[in-house]
Amino acid sequence: MLKKVKYDKSAFLFLLPAVIIILFIYANPLVKIFWYSVVNWDGLQPTTEFSGASNFITVISNKYFFEILFNNLIVIIITIPAVILFALFCSQFIYLRIFGYKIYQYLFFLPVIIPNVVAAIIWTFFLHPTGPINTIFTKIGLDFLVVDWFGNPRFAIYGLIITIIWKEVGFATILFLARLSGVDPSLYDSAKIDGANDFQTIRYITIPQLKGVIRLFAIIQMIGLLNFLFGYIYIMTRGGPGYSSTLLEYFVYIYAFTFKKLGPANAVAVILFGITFIFVLLYFWLSRSEGEGELN
């Protein structure tokens, strides 16, 4: 058993300058968001007219609010398992160095370095009603698979999800590969000798070895899916048709720049911050648990 590391609290003094700078940059806007969510503000003149929870009531009573919350839930529930599943297979095949594994490694990682806006433009073209995907389905006689992804409210959110999965699989693959690089290759050799197939190898070796990484990746991905999808939505759907692909992050934009209601816009931002903060705390708790597990 490894001895636990004893931390010197005086080391935090060296972090103090960085903490002060971060607070100066981020704390002031954050405090203002909370303040503007509980006052009547027109965006121009300073105000001290306290409105209490009226902005939050306005947001929650909006008939589309819970539909938008459900959209966020759909994105998280579908995207994270799909990304993890694809990344598991990709990372294992690259780790086992199948034929052409270096090419696959570059291909999987390529979407990661592409900006979100560029990825959105690419997939808007692919998923267009007359785009390459629908054209291929038509040519090979699979017309029943032809979908108006961004014109049909039933499918718009799934067009976004496809794009996000394509963009995120590479990062998860590299993350999993980094963990697998520390795994004893003899485990896979033994499984191969015992006649285990690829699915059994993934189930009984790869997943147990990646359990901690998968858990932390899922939390990080949840935070990202709540806060970093504006570019996709703005380019691909503008939240439509209707509110079928609107997420909380884009709902802030709608309230602020479409409805011109900055109080409710800040209230949505505070709600989004609260949800994200819960996941941040969960992330730190899991990180600490993983660290203590390694020490023990």
Residue 123 belongs to a domain: yes
| Least confidently predicted of 9-18, 69-78, 132-141 | 9-18
Q: What is the DSSP string of 99-149?
A: TTHHHHHHHHHHHHHS-HHHHHHHHHHHTSTTSHHHHHHHHTT-GGG---T
Nearest-angstrom CA–CA distance, 70 and 247: 9
Indicate whether 30 and 70 sit together in one domain: no
For residue 8, the model assigns a pLDDT of 64
Indicate whether 29 and 80 sit together in one domain: no
Asked whether residue 1 carries a pLDDT value surpassing 50, the answer given is no
Peptide bond into 241 cis (omega under 30): yes
Residue 119 confidence class, pLDDT cut points 50, 70, 90: very high
Indicate whether 39 and 162 sit together in one domain: no
Indicate whether 68 and 48 sit together in one domain: no
Indicate whether 134 and 242 sit together in one domain: yes
- Please give the average per-residue pLDDT across 22-38, as a whole number: 84
Indicate whether 128 and 19 sit together in one domain: no
Indicate whether 132 and 40 sit together in one domain: no
Residue 4 belongs to a domain: no
Residue 1 belongs to a domain: no
Indicate whether 157 and 44 sit together in one domain: no
Indicate whether 92 and 41 sit together in one domain: no
| Least confidently predicted of 27-36, 70-79, 178-187, 210-219 | 178-187
In the DSSP assignment, the letter for residue 264 is H
- Spatial CA neighbour of 71 closest among 261, 259, 214, 272: 272
Indicate whether 266 and 169 sit together in one domain: yes
Indicate whether 207 and 125 sit together in one domain: yes
Both structure tokens of 157:
């959110």
- Spatial CA neighbour of 109 closest among 174, 162, 176, 179: 174
Question: Residue 50 in 3-state DSSP?
Answer: strand
Residue 108 belongs to a domain: yes
For residue 280, the model assigns a pLDDT of 82
Q: What domain range includes position 39?
A: 12-52
Domain count, the chain: 2
